[in-house]
Amino acid sequence: MISDRLKSVIRDIPDFPKPGIIFKDVTPIFKDAQLCTEVTEAFIEQLKGTPVDVVAGIESRGFLFGLMLANRLGVPFVPVRKPGKLPFSIVKKAYELEYGSASIEIHTDAFEPGSRVLIHDDLLATGGTAEAAGELVTELGGIVAGFAFVINLDFLKGKERLRAFSDNIITLTDY
Residues in contact with ligand AMP by the rule CB under 6 A: 21-24, 58, 61, 97-98, 121-130, 158
Which lies closer to ligand AMP via its Cβ, residue 115 or residue 129? 129
Respond yes or no: is residue 61 known to be catalytic.
yes
C-beta of 101: minimal distance to ligand AMP in Å? 10
Rounded CA-CA distance 59/121 in Å is 8
Rounded CA-CA distance 169/20 in Å is 27
Respond yes or no: is residue 112 known to be catalytic.
no
Closest by Cα among 145, 110, 158, 151 to 2: 151
Q: At what angle do helices 2-9 and 33-46 cross, to 10 degrees?
A: 140
C-beta of 131: minimal distance to ligand AMP in Å? 7
Q: At what angle do helices 62-73 and 33-46 cross, to 10 degrees?
A: 60
C-beta of 128: minimal distance to ligand AMP in Å? 4
H-helix segments, 33-170:
33-46, 62-73, 128-139, 158-162
Which lies closer to ligand AMP via its Cβ, residue 134 or residue 158? 158
C-beta of 62: minimal distance to ligand AMP in Å? 6
Which lies closer to ligand AMP via its Cβ, residue 5 or residue 24? 24
100: left (phi over 0), alpha (psi -120 to 50) or beta: left
Which lies closer to ligand AMP via its Cβ, residue 24 or residue 81? 24
Active site residues per annotation: 61, 98
